[in-house]
Structure 1
Amino acid sequence: MPSPGPLSQFQVDREYLPSGIEIIGEGSVGGKAKGLIFVSYLMEAGQEKLCDFPEMLRIPRSTIVATDVFDQFIQLNRLGDVVELLYKKKLTDEDMNVRFLTGEFPPGAHDSLVRFLEEEDRPLVVRSSSILEDRPEHSFAGIYQSVFITNKGPLTKRIAELEMAIRIVYASTYGPNARKYAERMDAPWQEEKMAILIQDVVGSLHDDDLYYPLLAGVAFSRNYYPWSERIGVNDGLCRIVAGLGTRAVGRFQATVFSPSLPELRPEGMAVDDIVASSQDAIDALDYESELFLFKRLSDIQECNSKLYMLGQTLKDDSYFVETPKNFAPDERIILTFKPILSSNRYIPFVPLVGSLMRNLERVIGRPIDIEFVFDYRTDESGTSLTEKGYFYLVQVRPLGRLPEHRKVSIPTDVPESNVLLRSSRVLGNGIIRGIRNIVWVQHRKYDFSKGYDIAREVGKINEMFEGMEYILIGPGRWATTNPELGVPVNYSEMSNAAVVVELSYERFSPELSYGTHFFADMEASNMLYIPLFLEKGDYLNETLLEERESKVDAKWVKVIEISRGLDVYVDGNSRQGFIHF
């Protein structure tokens, strides 16, 4: 097999595809699939040491549907006119989706997918791999759809579900999130082309009919926002969860650490803070209902015998002890991941991830981020069966370089009455002057049962600010999928915000979003992020927000104009944030 050379110059050679990789069609494979094929070449050639435990490293079986199939789908169903009408704002997103989701699949591609499914009966995830995606300057992280399917039942049912999943990803090529993101990146969204990456879902079927891996996550070879002076930028960052990796890249509780000092965590060492920041539910595929869902940790304990590897038992709400292998179903297990972060007794997880990121950055030639899954497989060894753990790379892409932090001097002579907020836990760096508008979801009126209605109200107000900037303030986590955690907006519904403020209030709490798609998209869009923990000494001038009149007549949201303008300071070095007029 020929050496692939550097990623920037790498071209996929269909005559020498790595084992486990197949391509349907003759067009481009897109950014996401290209990175995966590149690493597969390196692993198979054996010319580069990618990690200290190469026998554990795997790539899931992957089938790529190239961009020429997308072109055929567009032409066959006369969708070019749909895209043009969408570009001219003469067609709604709902009508666009109907046209895409009812489109006929090209016969040649259909036959290829049938042959693929005749040999594949494992659960599948259908992912985007567009031309614009996974570039260092704009990742499009989480902008396009991904669809999980159980791949159960007769072939006719399975092919129908797979093709519908592909149609959903195709439609997301021109969806509102993709359009708004591309416009902010000055990328021509109407010219985008989409390849599809179909991968085996790595995992195990448990006794409760739930299918999921032991753990999954994302890792970055650079940590641009270290939470301690003892952690360097080059030490990297990792974000892990139990179950499917959707919770690692979404706005949910996850465990964040640096491979250099895995037990020095952002949330600190206080037991209450560790419990509050720890994952309390997992994402999984339900084999019985064939649905993607989440389950509380307490509901899966009885059917997952390996949770002792990932957590500790909380005693008397005040201290942790080691969770025994034969733990009781009602054991209060907290997913601290200490057993695999503090030693190699079960899994050499930290040295594996650390060495993998260092070596991938070296061979790719720039900082990288990866998505991965770890699970156990039962292998035949002579006449016996042995259970072995494997680390699966599901995505590799270049990581954008962060501009050097310029010095941000926060003013100290501003009258208290002119201060909008102060924060001591910001991420990022920058100064924005003269923002005249605040969009505030009134946290004391926020009703999570109306969360989706509130998000749509924010989206309509966001449209008013096309070409203008504003400060967005609301309770809990912006862009979560769970309204009990915050306001469930899509990217397109907050795309014009220059500053995003997350406010702690009652049960709602910001989440320092290291490693999530949300944070990657904010960073690429040059948005500044300010979490406010009022209970920890941060400050919000609620009196100012309450007393000012709203520019719009809305039920849950106020739009406040500050004619003098607001100046925003975010100092990533001191982690201080400050807004005043």
Structure 2
Amino acid sequence: PQAGDNIVFRIDNLEEYRFFCRRVARVRMAAARMPAIFGAAEIRPGSGRTATSVIQPPPKRPVVYFRFARHEPLFTDHELDELGVETRLLPLNEGFEHFITSAHEHVVSLGPTATLLFDSLSDLSGHYYSDRMIGNFFQLTCPLILQTGSLAYFTLRRNLHSYHAVAPITATTQIMVDLYQQEDSLFIRPIKTEGRNEEAAFVLFRLDTPERLTPINDSAGIVSVLNEEPWPGLRSASYRMVGVWDRLFQRAENTLEAVNPGTEDLGDQEEQKDQLLRLIIAREGRILELARRYFRMEELIAIWKRMIGTGFIGGKSVGMLLARAILRRSDPRWRTTLEMHDSFYVASDVYYTFLVINDCWWERQRQKDPATYLDGNDRARARILRGRFPDYIVERFADMIDYFGTSPIIVRSSSLLEDNFGNAFAGKYESVFCTMQGNRNARLQEFLQAVRVIYASTISDEALTYRQNRGILDQDEQMALLVQRVSGTPGVPRGSTTGEGGHYRGRWFFPHLAGVSFSYNSYAWHSSIDPAAGLMRLVFGLGTRAVDRADDDYTRVVALNAPERRPEAGLEEVRRHAQRRVDVLDLREGRHRSVYFSDLLQEENAVPLERVATRDRTLARRSGVPERALWILTFDPLLRNTNLVADMREMLETLREAYGTDVDMEFTINLVPDGGYRIALVQCRPLQVQGAHIPAARVPDLRRDEVVIRSTGGVVGHSRVLPVGRILYVRPDQYARLAESDRRALARVIRRVTSVEPVEGALMLIGPGRWGTSTPALGVPVQFTDIGRAAVLCEIDRIHAGLIADMSLGTHFFNEMVERNLLYLAVRVGQEDTILDTEYLEGFPNQLEHYLEASAGDWSKVVTVIHTTDKLVLNADSRNQTAILYKKRVSVDTIDVDGVDYLT
């Protein structure tokens, strides 16, 4: 062997490999003990000196045993001491990424002189049950060993693995050798000898002594050795294509078929079920416990049959399936109320394989370092967006596309950390609609690009910064995908009639309703509203309008214990704050888009107006008003005449009880001709609500000149009292004068301020319009990562008339507010009793230069940073919807509740 070689032995019995490992260790030990050889004394004429030529011993080559498998060790403790073999333990229980990273760190640290002996790679399949991941491990590790110049020995069981393991190992290694044992004789058969003695390839040799090999040329001898074990069949045979992963599920299916239908999981079946859960759902934690309680074996087998690749199906898929299972177990009626889902799952190992074959793995590893996690991201994302997929995966994708036909689908991110306890990742990863129009290849290419876009989003600046801020940058994060048929129907064009067989095809595709609901209502805008009853945000059309910020439009917000109690006061406000635009799929142009509801009515027959809208009688009395303009999307008929509110509340209560915490849920609703509806539950995850039961504190009696801000309504978040240490104030008048490019650049300025370690007291952001809007004309276009350590967001309606708090409820931005325990305030300047003392705020010295230094002067008219030096207190009462920022008279003590300071 040469420096940098990877040598793979294929074996039937571990003893065969153990023999070679011990032999290698003895040879290395003997070389290490070789003394220096001194040459003969040499007399140099005229020098008067005697020189001695010295042949130095070879450099020390440490022998390192990488231990990770469940099989018996390759060396006894005595042999390790005798042969001077060092053991390095590799962890298997913390995920594949941690395992391979640990192995690579050891390889690099040991350097070019080391000889590395690995446990059987086949044992990785016993842990991960994935041949593809064995191949990925070798494809990443072999080049690293070649690069470092060390020497490595591996083994795997012959005839155990599918081509997903064997093919990449054979293609990547320098040397591959088959080992056979017949009675007391050991035989070797080189399969690959890259760049050396290629005539020996596929010749069978008997190992007579460690230094002597005898070729076996007679047919009888060859046949007897090669058939010592039963012939497994040709490698390309269909039954050889089944790997350890599929065999495990097939055994579970056979076990299930052997028991009587309807019996509970018992004995071996329960053990197999737990094994399957750890393979596709989770290895540990609360989600695994819930899955044990609510998933049945047949449901896990059904998931397997809709999986592409091996590995986990990810948090979003698990949440959707688990919520459905919980509801079905709680009450059989949910089987008819819930619309059946039609889903496939692209498992997490496909993501790893994609990174490996497109040479993106090493860039991803650099992103675990907090100092460099954003370096080179653009280059890596570009490589992912151009990436190729293995042929066998593309074939599986094509089969799935054939199944869906020309029905629109959505490809949704479903990472391991996503939608889990503690980390929502709301809106951090992409989801992509595919309209699936055109020929087969066009539909396949549309899907492949959607997968690339989602894979690229795993290394977006926003996603990585979210992970960094939450201390999970180094955790094993794998991206699985949830592929679903979009719930809905194509519209019926006006004037169209159904063709032969009743078939018709409209331009627009959408569900009748969609939305998001919460088991806890963080925005109780009236005293009659019970926060524990939950909240629903409802839209007409696709649910993207409910979860993405649309600051130029509105949605219907429903308190589930008081659905008739609206945040708006009077018909005029209801009309002004009604939904006007609808998200749909345009089947003609093949894209997701927004259209005006009134335009949709003009083109479509299939809108059930009388069930979702209210006719505006005031407008109806005016002449010349088009019929389509008379309808307002209030959803009042649906809420008043059906059990939707009661069903939604029961669903949330059932899920909250099962999860042991509050939850949020995304859904679509399709109305059926009999007056009923079907709810498609598309997502469910734990909702991290902090301080929900903290009572409001009494506000002291204050003079008018002691109040800086007072607002009524628009308080989102639990009640609290905070000492305010810093205020970042964006002046509305100056912001209105900025060009759009400068408004977008303002986000970077704000990030510089909010990222600095906090002084004593909370950081409060005050600005015009929407914080986090995508439209700079409507507010400050920051991303959530720009907000940094802010504790309070205060929005002034100076540039956005009619600002209402519920515009953000249920959006990804709102979910991050809840997750971060931020307080939201809306200040309506023209409202009675509202106070906004801008003169006081602008009277403080501007501390912006402490954060921006040289460039502070350019922004000092727009942004004022105030260090209040413990002078201000914020009291927010979410139940009574009041907030007041006032000047503190005397020192105030604070208490800590759930990690948050509250005044006493």
Common fold, TM-score beyond 0.5?
yes
**Which residue number corresponds to residue 473 of structure 1?**
766
Aligned to 2:394: 110
Name the counterpart of 2:517.
219
Structure 2 unaligned blocks of 5 or more: 1-261, 266-272, 275-285, 494-505, 850-855, 888-904
Partner secondary structure for residue 263 of structure 1: coil
AA aligned opposite 1:198: V
Question: Can you list the C-alpha shifts for 1:499-518, whole angstroms capped at 9, x where unaligned?
Answer: 21111125442433333322
Distance (whole Å) between structure 1 residues aligned to residue 383 and residue 836 of structure 2: 46
User: Cα–Cα, structure 1 residues 221 and 89, in superposed 2: closer, same or farther, change >3 Å?
Assistant: closer
1:451-482 Cα shifts (integer Å, max 9, x gaps): x6523421343044324354222222222334
**CA–CA separation in structure 2 for the residues paired with 1:497 and 1:99:** 35
User: Counterpart of 1:381?
Assistant: none
The residue number in structure 2 matching 1:393 is 681
Residue deviations 1:160-201 (CA, integer Å, cap 9, x gap): 221221222222223222223233333236642211111111
2:630 paired residue among 332, 339, 353 = 332
Q: Does 1:570 align with 2:876?
A: yes
Q: Does 1:49 align with 2:336?
A: no
Contact 1:40-1:59 at 8 Å conserved across structures: no
| Larger displacement relative to structure 2 (560-569 or 470-479) | 560-569
Residue of structure 1 equivalent to 2:61: none
Instruction: Tell me the residue number matched to 1:435.
Output: 725
Residues 412 and 387 from structure 1, CA distance in 2 versus in 1: closer, same or farther, beyond 3 angstroms?
A: closer
- Residue 796 (structure 2) aligns with: 503
CA distance in 2, matches of 1:318, 1:194: 52
CA–CA distance in structure 1, aligned partners of residues 756 and 296 of structure 2: 43
Alignment of 1:1-80 (within 5 A): 8-9=288-289, 10=291, 16-17=299-300, 22-41=306-325, 47-49=329-331, 54-80=335-361
Distance 1:318 1:467, change over 3 A: farther
DSSP-derived class of the 1:422 partner? strand
SS of 1:496's equivalent?
A: coil
2:735 matched residue in structure 1: 445
The 3 A distance-change label for structure 1 pair 125 and 443 is farther
1:81 maps onto 2:388 in alignment: no
Question: 1:373 corresponds to which letter in structure 2?
Answer: T
Q: CA deviation at 1:244?
A: 0.5
Partner of residue 238, structure 1? 536
User: Aligned in 2, Cα 1:506/1:316: closer, same or farther, shift over 3 Å?
Assistant: farther
CA distance, structure 1, for counterparts of residue 580 and residue 685 of structure 2: 29
- The residue type paired with residue 66 of structure 1 is A
The size of the alignment, in residue pairs, is 560
For 1:135 and 1:341, how far apart are their aligned partners in 2?
31
Aligned residues of 1:18 and 1:40 also touching (Cα < 8 A): no
- Name the residue aligned to 1:186: 471
1:367 aligns with 2:662: yes
2:590 aligned partner: 290
Post-superposition offset of 1:149: 1.6
8 Å Cα contact 2:581-2:596 kept in structure 1: yes
- Tell me the distance in 1 between the aligned counterparts of 2:607 and 2:754: 52
Deviation at 1:63, TM superposition (A): 1.2
Separation in structure 2 between the aligned mates of residue 332 and residue 468 of structure 1, nearest angstrom? 54
Q: Does 1:301 align with 2:601?
A: yes
Cα separation, 2, equivalents of 1:89 and 1:365: 35
1:318 and 1:389 map into 2 onto residues whose CA distance is 29
Query: Secondary structure in 1 aligned to 2:330?
Result: coil
Deviations 1:77-122 (A, max 9, x none): 2223223444415625433421221222233332221111011131
Residue 205 (structure 1) aligned with residue 495 (structure 2): no
**Relative to 1, partners in 2 of residues 1:274 and 1:142: Cα closer, same or farther, differing over 3 Å?**
same
Q: Are 2:450 and 1:165 equivalent residues in the alignment?
A: yes
1:542 aligns to 2:852 (yes or no): no
Structure 2 distance, partners of 1:117, 1:258, is 40
Secondary structure of 1:301's aligned partner: helix
Judging changes above 3 Å, is the alpha-carbon distance between structure 1 residues 155 and 387 closer, same or farther for their aligned structure 2 residues? farther
Shift of 1:418: 6.0
> Aligned letter for 1:219?
S
In the TM superposition, what whole-angstrom CA distance separates every residue of 1:320-362 from its partner, at most 9, and x where no partner exists? 9xxxxxx964342111111011112xxx422332332233334
1:241-280 aligned at under 5 Å gives the runs 241-252=539-550, 253-268=554-569, 270-280=570-580
User: Cα offset for 1:490?
Assistant: 2.2
Q: Determine which structure has the larger helix proportion and give its number.
A: 2
Contact 1:184 1:525 in 2 (8 A): no
Distance 1:467 1:446, change over 3 A: same
Rounded to whole Å, the distance in 1 between the matches of 2:476 and 2:334 is 42
d(CA) in 1 for partners of 2:687, 2:348: 24
Query: 2:735·2:862 contact (CA, 8 Å) conserved in 1?
Result: no
Shift of 1:419: 4.3
Cα deviation, residue 40, structure 1: 4.2
Residues 82/362 of structure 1: CA separation in 2 closer, same or farther (3 Å cut)? same
Provide the aligned C-alpha RMSD in A: 3.2
TM-score by length of 1: 0.86
What secondary structure, in the 3-state scheme, does the structure 1 residue paired with 2:779 have? coil
Equivalent position SS for 1:336: coil
Residue 245 (structure 1) shift? 0.6
How many percent of aligned residue pairs carry the same amino acid? 28
1:422 to 710, 727, 732: 710
Range that drifts further, 196-205 or 457-466: 457-466
Aligned equivalents of 1:249, 1:140: Cα separation in 2? 13
Aligned match of 1:383:
none
Letter in 2 for 1:55: T
| Residues in 2 aligned to 1:339 and 1:97: alpha-carbon distance in whole angstroms | 47
**Bigger shift: residues 29-38 or 564-573:** 564-573
Say whether the 8 Å CA contact 1:237–1:258 is kept in structure 2.
yes
Q: Is the 8 A contact 1:237 1:257 kept in 2?
A: yes
Larger Rg: 2
Change (3 A) 1:215 1:398: same
Decide which moves more: 537-546 or 6-15.
6-15
CA deviations 1:290-332 (Å, max 9, x no partner) are: 1211111211112143122111122336999xxxxxx964342
**How much has 1:407 moved relative to structure 2?**
4.1
**Partner SS for 1:534:** coil
Q: Do structure 1's residue 101 and structure 2's residue 394 form an aligned pair?
A: no
Of residues 215, 223, 229 in structure 1, which corresponds to 2:527? 229
Amino acid aligned to 1:564: T
| Alignment match, 2:407 | 122
Does 365-374 or 219-228 show the bigger shift? 219-228
Partner deviation per Cα, 1:415-451 (whole Å, 9 max, x = no partner): 755644222221223333342241415355337972x
Shift of 1:33: 0.7
What corresponds to 2:227 in structure 1? none
- Partner of 2:462, secondary structure, is helix
1:382 alignment partner in structure 2: none
Kindly tell me: are residues 81 and 128 of structure 1, through their superposed partners in 2, closer, same or farther at Cα, counting changes over 3 Å? same
On the 8 A contact 1:221/1:361 being kept in 2, the answer is: yes
TM-score by length of 2: 0.57
**Which region of structure 1 is more displaced relative to structure 2, 483-492 or 121-130?**
483-492
The residue type equivalent to 2:687 in the other structure is L
